[in-house]
């Protein structure tokens, strides 16, 4: 199946089954402030902008925190992208869904999202506004009555597209689960913003470049990635090492010598990603004193691929929400001999996850990759045995093996109970003359443990029953 075909399937399933209708709701005035990213492309797609303060009430943060706590128990095993729309009237819902599909379509054109699109669930919540369009579009001073109070010219910046975060989350709560919220405006005017602390981004619904901004903002909000462009800060950065994985004060040699940041990615170059990886001076709003991993990635210019350093981090965040085993026999299950054990792994588009089986800690090469194991096919003596399955994503887009072990690997352990084999009287796992000798001794002693026909006495019928079982053998 091509990715476009599976994309329409994903959308048909997710937006079709998860639609919800909510009306405007007010949860308090915005008195406080929050930090947003506003990153915009020039005519060449090169990004500029930076970090801005916009209003957001503290009550909203408490509300979102409470919602996140409530969602922690949900185990849908997908990254939930929840769209909410603003400035769409009841008659404009078809346009809203077209706009959502357009942005998701753009997202899935960029790796790692292309290959990992089945790890996402998209829900488009239908939010009805009284008026069509949003504030300050096309010009400052235009005011409209809309459900989520979206507006251009936020903090005096034309392209900075803000939303009432509390109202956006109240609307998004109609979805089954929320990992990232995207608020889209019924507008073709260029703009957007990312609220990294709130896992929220905004985008114009009908502007193709704005869809790219939404993807860049997802780099901030999902991957905690830094901007790799050089405008807006001090010309030379002189502070301590930076937090995000995709910027560093250490140059190539220092990273290699001191095992810093992306030292294990040096010179990597893979199709689908910006490369090769090295250290390029300039990033995080400064021209000097900061290095970025590749020359011109999505965190620096729109329409560009992410680099491998960023992709590895995005996969880590995706795997925080998604376990490698999607469904199957539960961890710790007790299986009777003859029963089956199965696992269904997640399925990236470009490779299968690896499936390793171990019986009593011995790797079973014949079962490598198997999703279903019939315990009758295993060589089992009597007693209890441990069957273990390890499912791991061995993609070469990840080189941090500790991270792979922690986030991209899942182990389930089962106990198989093999009933003892009745004629194996000395319990050594095989039938031979030692068992026959033991039978004769026990029979001679009048030991009712060899009352094989179960009639309460020992006689020739027990000899006959024992020899029949002995002839049948043990599994």
Residue 86 engages Zn ion in binding (rule: CB under 5 A)? no
Residue 451 engages Zn ion in binding (rule: CB under 5 A)? no
- The one segment of 39-47, 137-145, 251-259, 365-373 that binds Zn ion by CB under 5 A: 39-47
Return the structure tokens found at 85.
């729309």
Measured CA to CA, the distance from residue 153 to residue 135 in angstroms comes to: 9
Residue 126 engages Zn ion in binding (rule: CB under 5 A)? no
Name which of 37 and 121 has its Cβ closer to Zn ion: 37
Name which of 192 and 423 has its Cβ closer to Zn ion: 192
- 194 backbone dihedrals φ, ψ, rounded to 5°: -120, 135
Q: What is the DSSP letter of 162?
A: B
Name which of 86 and 227 has its Cβ closer to Zn ion: 227
Output the smallest distance, CB 398 to Zn ion, in A.
23
Output the smallest distance, CB 227 to Zn ion, in A.
4
CA neighbours closer than 13 Å in the CB half-sphere of residue 218: 34
Sites for Zn ion among residues 46-75 (CB under 5 A):
none
Output the smallest distance, CB 306 to Zn ion, in A.
12
Residue 246 engages Zn ion in binding (rule: CB under 5 A)? no
Residue 159 engages Zn ion in binding (rule: CB under 5 A)? no
Output the smallest distance, CB 300 to Zn ion, in A.
9
Return the structure tokens found at 270.
């893979």
Name which of 87 and 194 has its Cβ closer to Zn ion: 194
- The one segment of 29-37, 61-69, 370-378, 451-459 that binds Zn ion by CB under 5 A: 29-37
Q: What is the contact mask toward Zn ion in residues 200 to 239, using x (rule: CB under 5 A)?
A: ---------------------------x------------
Output the smallest distance, CB 242 to Zn ion, in A.
14
- The one segment of 32-40, 85-93, 168-176, 416-424 that binds Zn ion by CB under 5 A: 32-40
Count of residues in contact with Zn ion, rule CB under 5 A = 3
Residue 160 engages Zn ion in binding (rule: CB under 5 A)? no
Q: What are the E-state strand segments in 186-313?
A: 192-195, 200-204, 280-283, 286-292
Residue 189 engages Zn ion in binding (rule: CB under 5 A)? no
Name which of 302 and 389 has its Cβ closer to Zn ion: 302
Q: Are 211 and 227 in contact (CB under 8 A)?
A: no
Pick the closest to residue 190 from 212, 215, 171, 216 (CA basis): 212
* 10, 18, 36, 39: residue in contact with Zn ion (rule CB under 5 A): 39
Measured CA to CA, the distance from residue 175 to residue 317 in angstroms comes to: 20
Return the structure tokens found at 264.
């294990």
Measured CA to CA, the distance from residue 134 to residue 210 in angstroms comes to: 15
CA neighbours closer than 13 Å in the CB half-sphere of residue 391: 24
Measured CA to CA, the distance from residue 173 to residue 182 in angstroms comes to: 13
Output the smallest distance, CB 117 to Zn ion, in A.
23
Output the smallest distance, CB 216 to Zn ion, in A.
5
Residue nearest to Zn ion (CB): 39
Measured CA to CA, the distance from residue 382 to residue 380 in angstroms comes to: 6
Rounding to the nearest 10 degrees, give the CA dihedral for residues 321, 326, 328, 329. Answer: -20
Residues 6+ apart with CB under 8 A from 19: 123, 124, 125, 126
- The one segment of 31-39, 290-298, 424-432, 459-467 that binds Zn ion by CB under 5 A: 31-39
Name which of 227 and 462 has its Cβ closer to Zn ion: 227
Name which of 87 and 223 has its Cβ closer to Zn ion: 223
Output the smallest distance, CB 274 to Zn ion, in A.
15
Question: 433-444 and 460-472 are packed helices; what angle lies between their axes, rounded to 10 degrees?
Answer: 160
Name which of 292 and 385 has its Cβ closer to Zn ion: 292
Pick the closest to residue 378 from 414, 329, 411 (CA basis): 414
Rounding to the nearest 10 degrees, give the CA dihedral for residues 306, 349, 409, 363. Answer: -140
Residue 150 engages Zn ion in binding (rule: CB under 5 A)? no
Contact positions vs Zn ion (CB under 5 A):
37, 39, 227
């Amino acid at each position: 199946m091509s990715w476009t075909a599976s994309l329409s399937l994903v959308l048909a399933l997710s937006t079709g089954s998860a639609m919800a209708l909510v009306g405007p709701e007010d949860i308090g005035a915005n008195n406080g402030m929050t930090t947003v990213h506003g990153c915009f492309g020039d005519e060449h797609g090169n990004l500029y902008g930076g970090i801005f303060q916009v209003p957001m009430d503290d009550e909203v943060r408490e509300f979102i925190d409470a919602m996140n706590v409530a969602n922690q128990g949900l185990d849908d095993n997908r990254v939930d992208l929840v769209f909410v729309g603003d400035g769409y009237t009841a008659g404009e819902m078809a346009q809203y869904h077209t706009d959502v599909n357009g942005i998701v379509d753009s997202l899935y054109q960029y790796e790692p999202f292309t290959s990992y699109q089945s790890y996402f669930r998209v829900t488009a919540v239908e939010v009805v506004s009284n008026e069509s369009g949003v504030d300050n579009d096309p010009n400052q001073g235009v005011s409209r009555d809309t459900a989520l109070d979206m507006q251009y010219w936020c903090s005096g910046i034309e392209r900075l597209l803000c939303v009432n975060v509390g109202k956006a989350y109240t609307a998004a709560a109609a979805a089954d689960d929320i990992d990232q919220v995207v608020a889209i405006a019924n507008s073709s005017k260029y703009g957007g913003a990312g609220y990294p602390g709130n896992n929220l981004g905004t985008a114009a619904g009908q502007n193709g470049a704005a869809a790219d901004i939404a993807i860049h903002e997802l780099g901030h909000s999902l991957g905690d990635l830094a901007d790799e462009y050089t405008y807006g800060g001090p010309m030379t950065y002189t502070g301590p090492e930076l937090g995000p994985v995709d910027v560093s004060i250490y140059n190539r040699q220092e990273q290699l010598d001191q095992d810093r940041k992306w030292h294990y990615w040096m010179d990597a170059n893979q199709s689908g990603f910006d490369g090769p990886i090295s250290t390029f001076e300039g990033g995080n709003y400064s021209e000097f004193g900061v290095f970025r991993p590749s020359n011109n990635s999505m965190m620096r210019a729109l329409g560009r691929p992410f680099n491998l350093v960023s992709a590895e981090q995005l996969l880590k965040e995706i795997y925080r929400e998604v376990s490698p085993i999607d469904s199957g026999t539960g961890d710790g299950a007790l299986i009777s001999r003859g029963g089956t054990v199965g696992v269904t792994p997640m399925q990236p588009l470009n490779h299968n996850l690896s499936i390793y089986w171990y019986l009593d800690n011995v790797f079973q090469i014949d079962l490598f990759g198997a999703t279903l194991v019939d315990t009758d096919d295993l060589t089992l003596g009597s007693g209890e045995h441990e069957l273990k399955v390890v499912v791991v994503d061995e993609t070469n887009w990840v080189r941090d093996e500790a991270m792979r072990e922690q986030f991209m690997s899942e182990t389930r352990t089962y106990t198989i109970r093999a009933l003892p084999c009745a004629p194996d009287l000395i319990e050594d796992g095989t039938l031979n003359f030692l068992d026959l000798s033991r039978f004769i001794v026990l029979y001679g002693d009048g030991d009712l443990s060899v009352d094989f026909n179960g009639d309460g006495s020992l006689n020739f019928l027990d000899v006959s029953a024992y020899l029949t079982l002995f002839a049948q053998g043990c599994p």
